[in-house]
A and B are shown apart, each in its own frame.
Chain A
């Protein structure tokens, strides 16, 4: 038995959740410290696992297997490859940063918050490492409840947190029920829940109509999570209502559960159907990209704007995936184009997690000070908060795909693949890049940071008595952002180290379809 990396990475946070829950609630500092410390081992182990496995990430690594529920034929099977490793790392990184950030900003029901957050982490990591459909489904649902409560309880009263929480819950639940039924149908024809084994058994091959139903049922579950237009309206509400750390993890990780599912389950299980329906899914991707960007441009609430930008950016992910799935040719030039497209899609998920996670932290920075997110209430803040301006500018530029920063690399690869495989879609999708620059620079940078600073307006929204840190970004906020900025630059300037593993895994995956 090898060192159980994945079990430890997945369950140490759960242990932490139990410990925090059992601690007396009045020692808030101790609670926070324990919670943050319990998230660190997973982060360290995930990083080590990533570095160790990068060389041979084309195959499943760090496999663990044990009989779990014999009557159901369910196994505890976990493993990672170059596609899941960056996402596991992303999850642990964003969780640790979120807990660290929340230690300074969460004041209400501290114990419950930190316990739930650690539970959430276990659920999210579990989805990325599970190689058994039952296990996958359980983890999928485990993540749902803590997020539901995080939004409902710690949301801002003016943002209708309960409405948003339940909307989020129901949307996801509808999808997961559909997914569960499809999983059951697949099990009935293949006799196994093993995610790695099912593709070779050609699930539901004898029943095309049912296969199509199962395909769309699973697609629905993942498309809601991604979210793809038109299943996206839970997202702006949930993001807006959630506390800062909740939004970070929601955008940074939870959306990726859907994307990961599409790559790990939908594509290998039904490659022919995916190719057949690729034109339609491609249309959804394009609508998400352009429509999401346009709606973003119409927002005056900073957080809502970034939420809609996620719809647009995850549309890029879908476009890359569709390009990779649009052909089953494994001859060299085509396979390379498909691999590039899928690399772009996977990296887009990682980048979106880093960048949009960062953007939500940065919304938190200004919201904690002023308790408003109304873009019309700010202006000229670059003079008042130069460090904040610098960090926000860099993150925003990464988001709009400026070369030299992370976002560009994945956009480039997605479009490189799309131009080779689905050129019409690529030509239309290009519009989203221009719109991205428009909403980010026009709405965020111009309205918040440029223009004339008005002391009078500022007095109205900022009350120094309620803010105990420095006016410009406080040290804990800078520390929270620093790792994210590091990855934006690393991936943007020299993407090879991050991409080597992804590339190995996607090439192997596509060649084996």
Chain B
């Protein structure tokens, strides 16, 4: 068994090697490159699942304690910082999901990116290199034994998201693929926005890591979470709080950026500019999951801060999660782009996961992370299939002379309609994903969302007052209703009614390389919830519930199934779904939207995403650019350089005067020198002119005299 665990570093290494091979050697061969990428992630999946099995078979001790491997990495004074790999029950749970979902996305990409067709872009090989590196980053993150490897993997993912979100910016605008110039610009701006926004979170995490390392001398999870270490951190005071609270909040800052929590959620909807498989990758298995994983992995820090009282780092997680869940779900009501609706849905669901963790329940948060990964990957890939179908429909329509030349976005739900007949397999897959997301029994999302709400409900009832868990439960339940509402709207708009555009009219089903992964994922969306179903004895709880045992502060016990909670949320979900669906299934082109008619100005606010993007543009980006130019002017035009030049000009003038006095002849040098003294900067030093030797010798002389005087004086 030990031997198998020793292979753990290979899990991220396979896709990393695939990345290196593609970039260095095979980047001219698209088919070969994509096969290498798929081969790499397939090996990771095989090894990952073997490790999952090995962990499960190793028994309870291995689930909590885990296996580890470490290497000395960074010499630090008299100590050495180590870097390493570890596998415990939590890692095993992640290893079941991450490589497999990645594999499905990779296979799907091969069809989606139109390989083997004559008009293919030579950069598709690079696409597979990037997604391999992305997968390597996420896999490195989950097998990390310490915050060092975790942070490296974390940032590698940030880089890949930058490269992939901006992927279309490599292409030329071309009507063939419905890529206009504005979209190319949007792609690169979205990439930049994603990187910089998450980077803000990253430096907070970076600070948290630096502080942890300063106070404890280690960055290994198990050592950090020892009770004595946590007590030390509780005892130190920092900014008027226990250090552990400050550090937990900084770490959470990183998660807020990566997992697109309010107020750093703004990058995620724009990330839709990337190719659809990338959206699936970012929104399901990797990237946004990383932030939730981080909070879960460092949960003892949050709880230790909580235990000291008056330092509720944990509360912040729940509050931010609840705000994000509601914000995402409401904005999702008013978007037209099929992928953007899903993006806001992701933001909202990530909020649920944070709510679960914020209530102190590791398993509830992670369970939802796992189920969400399956059904959100499914939804994105199905949406990609829909878009693909509509694009093809546009081709056919153009070929038949319909709708030629007019511009439209293949992502726009307003032009779709009636696609359930034209793309039946995609429709079934989409429906499975939607039902899982909305939380209909027995789909996966029902079990995981229910666990979070049950947790909140339980904590509320245990206390009895209108405490935080009550508000969290209320937000979650309301969010569930809105989730159902926007999914009902989306299903109605896309799959019911009549096509509202020639492209939708001519849409047809996608190739099997795309639909097969959809069907596999749909099965998971249907069945995966049972891994932690209460009536099966909450198996996931047993596997990963005790990973933080060492800290003595995290106590994981499964909350029993609560019919009240499940009943309320199911009723609301069904109602929302039916309401949205019935209002939109007969929507006609040009008609005022039913929600708009009902909500009026509120709808406008939602459509404009609560104006948060505009606020940032106005309050942060513009001032930053202004400040940059301001500093440059100080440097170059207003203060520093003019002063330097003035000193030079004065020196030059002095030397000229000296020479003039010396020779007693007033010539053009004096005139020019004096004129330049008043004439400001820039022109005074021309190599061709004489006088420079005196110039600097004079400076030397003056300085020597000054300092000599200083010396003698003292």
Contact = CB atoms under 8 A, between A and B. Distances in A.
B199 to A, nearest CB: 5
Given A181-B704, A390-B23, A402-B155, A430 B203 contact: yes
Contact of A451 (B188, B196, B687): B188
A500 B75 contact: yes
Interface of A: 152, 161-163, 165-167, 169-171, 173-174, 177-178, 181, 185, 207, 209-210, 213, 217, 230, 233, 291, 294-299, 332-333, 335-340, 343, 382-383, 390, 397, 402-404, 408-409, 412-413, 415-416, 418-420, 423, 426-427, 430, 433-435, 437-438, 441-442, 446, 450-453, 494-496, 499-500, 502-503, 507
B15 to A, nearest CB: 14
Nearest to B708: A181
B632 interface: yes
Nearest to B214: A420
B681 to A, nearest CB: 10
Given A404-B155, A434-B203, A336 B195 contact: no
Given A233-B644, A434-B196, A434-B203, A494 B73 contact: yes
A169 B693 CA distance: 11
Contact of A503 (B75, B181, B200, B629): B75
Nearest to A438: B196
B618 interface: no
Nearest first, the 4 A-B pairs at minimum CB distance are A162-B687, A336-B77, A339-B77, A420-B214
Nearest to B641: A233
B74 interface: yes
A154 to B, nearest CB: 13
A340 B628 contact: no
B631 A343 contact: no
Interface string B688-703: 1000100110011001
A251 B632 CA distance: 20
B26 to A, nearest CB: 14
Contacts of B155: 402-404, 408
Interface residues of B, number: 72
A494 B631 CA distance: 37
6 contacts: A213-B710, A294-B627, A383-B123, A434-B200, A437-B196, A453-B172
A507 B191 CA distance: 42
Interface of B: 23, 72-80, 123, 151-152, 154-156, 159, 162, 166, 169-170, 172-173, 181, 184-185, 188, 191-192, 195-196, 199-200, 203, 206-207, 210-211, 213-214, 217, 238, 624-625, 627-629, 631-632, 635-636, 640-641, 644, 648, 682, 685-688, 692, 695-696, 699-700, 703-704, 707-708, 710-711, 714
Nearest to B700: A177
A335 B75 contact: no
Contact of A382 (B72, B170, B195, B207): B170
B24 to A, nearest CB: 10
A295 B159 CA distance: 24
Contacts of B699: 170, 173-174, 177
B75 A496 contact: yes
Contacts of A337: 77, 214
Contacts of B648: 167, 170
A409 B628 contact: no
A390 B27 CA distance: 12
The A contact surface, by secondary structure, is: helix
B685 A167 contact: yes
Contact of A294 (B80, B154, B628, B711): B628
A236 B456 CA distance: 58
Contacts of B72: 496
Contacts of A298: 625, 628-629, 631-632
A513 to B, nearest CB: 14
Most chain A C-beta atoms within 10 Å of own C-beta, residue among B23, B166, B181, B708: B166
Contacts of A340: 76-77
B396 to A, nearest CB: 28
Given A415-B207, A434-B203, A295 B169 contact: no
A404 B152 CA distance: 6
A273 to B, nearest CB: 15
Given A162-B687, A450-B169, A452-B181, A294 B631 contact: yes
A383 B171 CA distance: 8
Nearest to A188: B711
Nearest to A296: B628
Contacts of B624: 294, 297, 435, 438
Contacts of B687: 152, 161-163, 165-166
A205 B195 CA distance: 52
Contacts of B200: 434
Contact of B74 (A233, A409, A430): A409
B78 A162 contact: no
A502 B692 CA distance: 42
B696 A343 contact: no
Contacts of A207: 714
Contacts of A174: 699, 703
Contacts of B696: 166, 169-170, 173
A419 B704 contact: no
A447 to B, nearest CB: 10
Given A233-B640, A495-B73, A503-B76, A450 B170 contact: yes
Nearest to A495: B74
Contact of B75 (A217, A296, A343): A343
Contacts of B635: 233, 291, 295
A494 B83 CA distance: 10
A210 B710 CA distance: 8
A167 B23 contact: no
Nearest to A184: B711
B184 A452 contact: yes
A499 B75 contact: yes
A336 B79 contact: yes
A65 to B, nearest CB: 30
B206 A433 contact: yes
Contact of B203 (A171, A332, A433, A496): A433
B74 A451 contact: no
Contacts of A297: 624-625, 628
Contacts of B214: 337, 416, 419-420
Contacts of A170: 648, 695-696, 699
A181 B711 contact: yes
A173 B651 CA distance: 14
B73 A496 contact: yes
Given A173-B696, A434-B199, A451-B185, A403 B710 contact: no
Nearest to A436: B199
A390 B20 CA distance: 12
A452 B172 contact: yes
A437 B158 CA distance: 12
B686 A163 contact: yes
Given A161-B687, A340-B76, 15 more contacts: A170-B699, A177-B703, A294-B624, A295-B635, A298-B625, A343-B77, A390-B23, A403-B154, A419-B211, A423-B238, A433-B199, A434-B199, A438-B196, A446-B192, A503-B76
Contacts of B172: 383, 452-453
Given A295-B635, A426-B210, A434-B199, A166 B79 contact: no
A412 B710 CA distance: 42
A332 B77 CA distance: 9
A209 B712 CA distance: 12
Contact of B78 (A167, A332, A427): A332
Given A294-B628, A299-B632, A442-B192, A163 B707 contact: no
Contacts of A383: 123, 170, 172
A450 B159 CA distance: 15
A441 B161 CA distance: 13
Nearest to A503: B75
A296 B628 CA distance: 8
Given A213-B714, A383-B170, A402-B159, A173 B700 contact: yes
A209 B714 CA distance: 7
A404 B73 CA distance: 12
